[in-house]
Amino acid sequence: MDSRTKRRLSPGQLDALARRAVGAGVSASAELTDGYANAVWRLSLDDGRDVVLKLSPPPELEQLSYERNLLRMEAVVYELAAAAGVPVAELLVAGFDDPVLGGDYLLLGALDGVSWNGTSPDGETELRRELGRLLARFNAVTGDVFGYPHAGITGATWREAYLAMMGALLGDTERYPTALPLPVDEIAALVAAASPVLDEVTTPQLVHFDVWAGNVFLDLTGTPRIQAIIDHERAFWGDPLAEFVTPTIFSELREDDPLLAGYREVTPLELTPAALTRLDLYRAYLYLILLIENGPRQYPEAEYARLRDQSTAALTQTLARLASPAPADRRPRGDTPSRSSAAS
């Protein structure tokens, strides 16, 4: 999607950046437009390599508070995820504060697979199960602090960090007024009242938080399999349960979802009533991001309208659930597994 945050570089600028980064020039380039924030190009280098260049917005352009230094967090995640056995693109160079263009960039090895978005391969149930196993490995990476350390939004506890993240996001509406289903103060009060359930989370774990079909690459040369998970820029340290929000966006996590089954093959996960409230807190956070980020990004109205309407409707429903005390017997829909099937 087009966005004001995406920079435009000439062929000469792309060539010069590649030469600074890896000592090879660019013989051909093509912009990749599926992303929402950073400018991305696939480059063919004159040494025979194909690479992907990801360039941050101009440093003088204001973004949302949590978006400070996004590519620096993403660079860290590539290394951590690969070490955890999660397939990712190879990080070739991470350049920060580029002396010519300003801002940050990543140079990655190009993938030869296809994006899951827009394709319907055979065996999607097994692919979703495989994705669950990979996300469990991703979430098994632990850190030292909750939140977004690269953006300076952190907390000693997960509740403290989440409320700081939500406070920063809601605070961004002062710079970027956004139509929301409730006043900002009421939203803040709702999430604060529900936030004690977050105290169940005691260890900062790596959360991608943007695993939609466009960020999963598939290898379809034989039996379909996941080649790589990409675009780790929204990642934070927090509750691994938040990982299920984007793959079930505008919907809900069901007990019979193969994603959940695959996750449970690696680590136990029980969807208790408290866990479902935590999921709603993370849904509220994601839907707010999707609404408020249009302020700095200024998406084309024709492309953004559907996403805005879906996010507004989903946020309205989520806030209504948070406003009503969850019944003690609240459970997700779908077949309820036995305790043994929910554990690794």
pLDDT at 339: 27
CB 88 within 8 A of CB 229: yes
Sheet containing strand 26-32, strands side by side: 26-32, 39-45, 50-55, 105-109, 91-95
pTM exceeds cut of 0.85: yes
CB 290 within 8 A of CB 331: no
Q: Give the integer Cα–Cα distance in Å for 105 and 203.
A: 30
Write out the chain's pLDDT in tens, 344 residues.
Answer: 566 667 889 999 999 999 999 999 999 999 987 766 688 999 999 999 999 999 998 888 889 999 999 999 999 999 999 999 999 999 999 999 999 988 999 999 999 999 999 899 999 999 999 999 999 999 999 999 999 999 999 999 999 999 999 999 999 999 999 999 999 999 999 999 999 999 999 999 999 999 999 999 999 999 999 999 999 999 999 999 999 999 999 999 999 999 999 999 999 999 999 999 999 999 999 999 999 999 888 888 998 999 999 999 999 999 999 998 666 566 677 753 332 222 22
CB 57 within 8 A of CB 118: no
Reduced to 3 states (helix: H, G, I; strand: E, B; else coil), residue 343 is coil
Length of the chain: 344
pLDDT at 305: 95
Annotate 204-248 with DSSP letters as a single string. Answer: -EEE-----GGGEEEE-SSS-EEEEE---TT-EEE-GGGGGTGGG
**CA 127-34-283 angle, 5° bins:** 65
pLDDT at 343: 28
pLDDT at 89: 97
Annotate 310-337 with DSSP letters as a single string. Answer: HHHHHHHHHHHHHHSPPPTT---SSPPP
Single-letter residue type at 243? E
Burial (CB count <10 Å: 0-12, 13-18, 19+), residue 84: middle
CA 180 to centroid of chain Cα atoms: 22
Half-sphere exposure of 242 toward its Cβ, with a 13 Å CA cutoff?
Answer: 26
Distances (CA, A) of 343 to 136, 191, 337: 12, 30, 10
pLDDT at 340: 27
